[in-house]
Amino acid sequence: MKMLVVLLAVAGCSRDTASVPTPKADPPEVKAAPVDPAADADALVKANEAAGLLGTSLKQRILQEMADGGPVAAIAACSDEAQALTAQVRGQKQVAVGRASTKLRNPNNSGPEWVKEWLAATEGTPAAEATGLSEVVNGPNGRVARVIKPIAVEAPCLTCHGAPEAIPEDVKAVLAERYPKDQATGYAVGDLRGALWAEARVASATP
């Protein structure tokens, strides 16, 4: 997969050309830490791994549970374990990570602002055409690597995310009970279901 690394200019270098120079202007030197390409790349790898790990572990878990106990058991597993698994990957990889969507089942999955922006921009795009994100930016709390991987709807997902009339009654009942505000139905195979996202801090070179 081709990785697009967007290195944003260091904010501290920008110059306000419109401002009138004041004689005794000795502006406080706000020096942004020098960009370390190796540290940027490390953080990107970390974010990428965390998003990938969360995606594969959740999918494996749900498909296994579907095969072993059927969809109702799988919902229980998913709803009991998805958040815990997410926290586990977060702890293991030391990165912020999650799944988000414009049509949420669990409102806790709304994701940070930059993920919401990507979701809004890709809304309606078929999953195969959606371009993920892989960039390093200077965020409000320092330099961070951000990764988004589009999530596609596949055939096994339809039991729980497909058209309401295609969802088995027992599944519908459990979903209604656990997720009274569920918006995550009505999908077809190939639709973009949402985003797997991760954000890793770039280690600073200076102590």
What separation in angstroms does the CA of 92 have from each of 46, 88, 127, 200?
11, 6, 28, 12
The gap between the terminal CA atoms of the chain, to the nearest Å, is: 34
Cα 150 versus chain centre, distance: 9
Smallest distance from ligand HEC to CB 73, Å:
8
Tell me whether residue 33 or residue 152 sits nearer to ligand HEC (CB atom): 152
Provide the binding-site residues for ligand HEC, judged by CB under 6 A: 59, 62, 66, 71, 74-75, 78-79, 82-83, 99, 101, 104-106, 109, 151, 153-154, 156-157, 159-161, 184, 193-194
Tell me whether residue 55 or residue 139 sits nearer to ligand HEC (CB atom): 55
Number of neighbours of residue 39 by Cβ within 10 angstroms: 18
Tell me whether residue 94 or residue 170 sits nearer to ligand HEC (CB atom): 170
Smallest distance from ligand HEC to CB 98, Å:
8
| CA gap 101, 87 in Å, rounded | 18
Smallest distance from ligand HEC to CB 86, Å:
8
Smallest distance from ligand HEC to CB 159, Å:
5
Tell me whether residue 18 or residue 155 sits nearer to ligand HEC (CB atom): 155
CA nearest neighbour of 62 among 124, 149, 154, 128: 154
